[in-house]
């Protein structure tokens, strides 16, 4: 079979190697022209590597959902599939899996779900943008830097075994391999493929390719229910859904009460104050709905939540002698995420003196931090009393943004300080 694989930056090399292993005639295209070393390796292994698609006919074209059609050039194909679909055809996990995609809350949901599954005694493999981890009696970091591009699922399926279940964060869609496919939400239907497609077109793969069960927000039922396959079960979460939650928040950094409604019952638990509970609303509802979709007792899951301490870099709360520090260190840091965080600090916790320390490191993140949008959001909130730039962003600071040497210089300057780092692996 003659195969054309586009994009070596987002895991295409993994797909190329698998097609080569299966005896295919493979042409790889480095559409972003930044993978010269990978190209050399693939050529040694038998692939043809080119900077652009050749004007030839192929039996199969494999290209990511986020790549514009222009990268296909004059090439033609009998069949065309996405990287997600290719993984669904090429990979096999020796244990059941859950795949999670969405605009916001993917990583937090992955960690919370993995925690809940481990509390059921299940040895859980968790693939997230913050790393590949093993959840069991203790949490072990297996890989601290890992991509959530769909091809990573193929690699992980070959390299890891001996688990009871896998919880896999996937960017822009699903492979159809999972026992449960989850969409945390389409809070922002942002443009992809250079504006020629929308995020919904990628994420819809999670629903359309599902073979067992799906989970999605109740308020997005009109979007997703029409593409749920007829033989696939669905569980919804949020207002009006199968699993609903409510939070009675205390003071910032103190405990909150979580109320859960599901299966005609009401359950309550007290959450510890080590993380920003309001930032985990989606994770609470979505992870509990996924437990239901997997056939687990939600009552037991809720009873486990008081010991959950949040996720590193996701609304971490640190108490100091001179105020509260909230750490946000993840690829999802954006103007909209900071706007949400500011909104919950002001409206839910009554904060009136907030500082923001930005570190736009942008390491391995496709969506760069829009500093102009950040400044615009902050300018509309009088509670933001200071906006600061780290040394890594020197020269990028704009009006009303002060460049400083380190976050320690801000100790005691504000009631609440947000330390936001744009970092992670896609």
Dist. CA 113–CA 119, nearest whole Å? 10
CATH number of the domain enclosing 344: 3.90.190.20
Domain hosting 403: range is 314-423
Specify whether 373 is located in the same domain as 418: yes
307, 339, 368 — which closes off a domain?
A: 307
187 and 134 assigned to the same domain: yes
259 in the same domain as 328: no
Whether residue 99 is found in the same domain as residue 36: no
For residue 29 the two structure tokens come to 């295209």
Domain-terminating residue out of 282, 307, 332:
307
pTM to 2 decimals? 0.91
Same domain, 120 and 204: yes
Asked if residue 169 and residue 277 are part of one domain, the reply reads yes
| CA triple 299-249-137, angle to 5 deg | 45
Distance CA 62, CA 28 (A): 10
Same domain, 379 and 333: yes
- Of the candidates 371, 363, 338, 377, the residue with the CA atom closest to the CA atom of residue 422: 363
How crowded is residue 88: how many other Cβ atoms within 10 Å of its Cβ?
Answer: 21
Biggest CA pair distance of the chain: 67
21: left (phi over 0), alpha (psi -120 to 50) or beta: alpha
302 in the same domain as 181 = yes
Q: What is the DSSP string of 306-333?
A: GG---BTTEEEEEEETTEEEEEEEETT-
If one counts the domains in the chain, the total is 3
- Listing DSSP states for 280-295 in one string gives GHHHHHHHHHHHHHTT
Q: What is the pLDDT of residue 142?
A: 98
Consecutive 10-residue averages of pLDDT for the chain (426 residues): 95 97 98 92 97 97 91 96 96 97 92 98 96 96 93 97 97 93 81 62 84 96 92 97 96 96 96 95 98 97 97 90 87 86 94 92 61 88 93 72 89 93 66
Of residues 155, 217, 175, 141, the one with CA closest to residue 18: 155
Query: 346: closest CA among 372, 380, 321, 376?
Result: 380
H or E element that contains 343: helix 335-347
**H-only helix segments in 22-150:** 36-44, 83-90, 106-119
Taking CA atoms, 7 is separated from 66, 68, 141, 386, in Å, by 10, 11, 28, 41
DSSP string, 137-176: SSEEEEESS---STHHHHHHHHH--S-SEEEEE-TTS--S
Query: Angle at Cα 136 formed by Cα 135 and Cα 142, nearest 5°?
Result: 45
Within this chain, do residues 137 and 245 fall inside the same structural domain, yes or no? yes
CA 343, CA 155: separation in Å to the nearest integer? 40
Q: Residue 110 sits in a domain of what CATH number?
A: 3.40.1190.10
- Whether 56 and 125 share a structural domain: no
Q: Are residues 420 and 336 in contact, defined by beta-carbon separation less than 8 angstroms?
A: no
Last residue of a domain, one of 56, 81, 106: 81
Whether residues 241 and 109 share a domain: the answer is yes
CATH number for 57: 3.40.50.720
Q: State the Cα–Cα distance between residues 287 and 111, nearest whole angstrom.
A: 9
338 and 288, same structural domain? no
């Amino acid at each position: 079979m003659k195969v054309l694989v586009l994009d070596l930056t987002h895991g295409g090399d993994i797909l190329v190697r698998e097609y080569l292993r299966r005896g295919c005639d493979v042409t790889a295209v480095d559409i972003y022209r930044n993978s010269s070393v990978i190209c050399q390796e693939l050529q040694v292994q038998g692939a043809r590597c080119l900077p652009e698609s050749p004007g030839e006919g192929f039996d199969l074209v494999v290209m990511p959902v986020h790549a514009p059609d222009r990268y296909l050039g004059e090439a033609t194909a009998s069949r065309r599939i996405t990287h997600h679909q290719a993984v669904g055809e090429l990979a096999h996990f020796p244990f059941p899996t859950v795949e999670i995609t969405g605009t916001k809350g993917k990583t937090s949901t992955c960690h919370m779900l993995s925690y809940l599954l481990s509390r059921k005694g299940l040895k859980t493999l968790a693939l997230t943008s913050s790393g590949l981890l093993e959840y069991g009696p203790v949490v072990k970091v297996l890989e601290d830097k890992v991509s959530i591009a769909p091809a990573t699922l193929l690699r992980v399926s070959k390299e890891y075994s001996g688990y009871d279940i896998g919880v896999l964060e996937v960017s822009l869609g699903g492979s159809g391999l999972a026992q449960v496919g989850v969409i945390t939400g389409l809070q922002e239907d942002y443009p992809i493929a250079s504006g020629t497609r929308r995020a919904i077109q990628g994420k819809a793969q999670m629903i359309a390719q599902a073979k067992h069960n799906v989970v999605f927000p109740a308020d997005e039922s009109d979007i997703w229910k029409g593409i749920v396959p007829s033989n696939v079960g669905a569980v919804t979460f949020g207002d009006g859904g199968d699993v609903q939650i409510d939070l009675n928040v205390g003071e910032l950094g103190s405990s909150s009460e979580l109320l859960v409604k599901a299966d005609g019952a009401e359950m309550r638990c007290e959450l510890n104050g080590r993380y920003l509970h309001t930032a985990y609303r989606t994770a609470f509802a979505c992870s509990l709905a996924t437990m239901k979709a997997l056939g687990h007792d939600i009552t037991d899951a809720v009873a486990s939540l008081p010991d959950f301490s949040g996720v590193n870099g996701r609304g971490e709360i640190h108490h100091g002698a001179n105020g509260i520090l909230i750490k946000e260190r993840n690829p999802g840091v954006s103007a909209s995420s900071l706007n949400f965080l500011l909104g919950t600090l002001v409206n839910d916790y009554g904060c009136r003196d907030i500082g923001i320390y930005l570190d736009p490191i942008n390491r391995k993140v496709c969506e760069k931090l829009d500093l102009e949008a950040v400044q615009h959001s902050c300018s509309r909130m009088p509670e933001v009393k200071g906006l600061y730039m780290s040394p890594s962003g020197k020269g990028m600071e704009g009006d009303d943004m002060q460049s400083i040497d380190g976050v320690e210089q801000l100790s005691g300057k504000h009631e609440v300080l947000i330390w936001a780092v744009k970092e992670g692996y896609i």
